[in-house]
Amino acid sequence: MYLKEYMENLKTESINIQREGMTEEYQVKEKDHGDMVVYDILRKDHYLMTLSKEGDILFMNFDAADDEREIFKLSFLNQFIDIIKNLS
């Protein structure tokens, strides 16, 4: 079995998420680490979290600004998970 020694960027897409009556734009970067495809979520080029294609939360940036950490709430996470499941 061959394991990649590096991560490969597959694609980047902009998505819109509804938050408190407003639409906000986020970037989803799909990355292949060889054994797993993951999705980095960014807003205005600030890294926020990484999700698996199954919707599991792998990493969260707790150092993000307070308004950016709002997306860690379940109602917002579900929007990201639904979108990611449709991307794969």
Find, among 6, 11, 3, the residue nearest to 28 by Cα.
Answer: 11
Residues 6-65 have pLDDT tens digits of 567 788 889 888 877 888 899 999 998 778 889 999 999 999 999 998 888 999 999 988
Q: What is the Cα 72 distance to its own chain's centre? A: 11
Residues pairing with 46 in the sheet: 43
45: left (phi over 0), alpha (psi -120 to 50) or beta: left
- The ranges assigned to domains in the chain are 8-87
Buried b (16+ CB within 10 A) or exposed e, 11-29: eeeeeebebeeeebebbbb
